Structure 1
């Protein structure tokens, strides 16, 4: 694993494109996103207003849904959940109230090591977008997972 430079959150046209899936959920078409993505509704830590973001589900279990902040601990949605962990998610047609629980780096590493073999192409693209290069080994993905903040939404 090699760390390049953590990219900044998207702005301008790129931000508009990244946020397009939110509109699918608003039009009640969230089922088109399948169960690999979820809409997270949370409260802004400064504004107190409702905020929304679509995130990829890294892992799903009876304990909830695991998501990762690819832009690190500075991502607004991550910081908002650290301040106010109660939120709501929509996965497909289902809407659930959840509480965000941060995971320790070792657990994040193991989750990423399980994710990579299930979705190899997506995993390589995902870690590249986050500023890492990997050689494709599970150990490389495990090391990346230890560097990123993961949350369990349960």
Structure 2
């Protein structure tokens, strides 16, 4: 496992930006990262995840990818309760609706991201393919991109 992959699996490092967002420092990340506030599917407790914005098809739509594993907790939670809060750039706690993309749309978004951000994709692809390729093979899926969960967040606040 290379250093970048080990760092991405380090809980304290991955969670550190949450505190920056919560004290209003999300503007430091511009529109590249967002804070997703969601509800735990069994406890109902508030949960937080900092995610990379991998696409912005419209000003009120943000695309995020579950890159570290096939079923991260935030993804499983938004499947149950899609009403979330999003902080990105100067916007704080904007109401949003999380909409999982179908496999074809998800694969298309991943290809767009790879085209638009080749350097970032080179690093992320190693992490994603480590779990997505075996999962796709086990499901009989020829394109591993179709098994990667991708969510579009539709901002509801103007």
Q: Normalising to structure 2: TM-score of the pair?
A: 0.79
CA distance in 1, matches of 2:100, 2:61: 12
Matches within 5 A, 1:29-68: 29-62=25-58, 64-68=61-65
1:113 Cα deviation (Å)? 1.1
Per-residue deviation, 1:145: 2.8
Q: What are the residue-to-residue correspondences of 1:104-119 with 2, within 5 Å? A: 104-119=102-117
Q: Gaps (5+ residues) in structure 2? A: 1-5, 132-142
Aligned pair count reads 135
Choose between structure 1 and 2 for higher RCO, CA contacts under 8 A separated by at least 6 residues. Answer: 1
Unmatched 5+ stretches in structure 1: 1-6, 134-142
Matched, 1:15 2:11: yes
Question: Secondary structure of the equivalent of 2:62?
Answer: strand
Pick one of 80, 85, 100 that aligns with 2:82. 85
Distance across 2 between alignment mates of 1:50 and 1:73? 22
Aligned residue number for residue 3 of structure 2: none
TM-score (norm 1): 0.80
Residue 68 of structure 2: aligned partner: 71
Aligned-CA RMSD value: 2.0
Runs of at least 4 residues of structure 1 off by over 3 A?
Answer: none
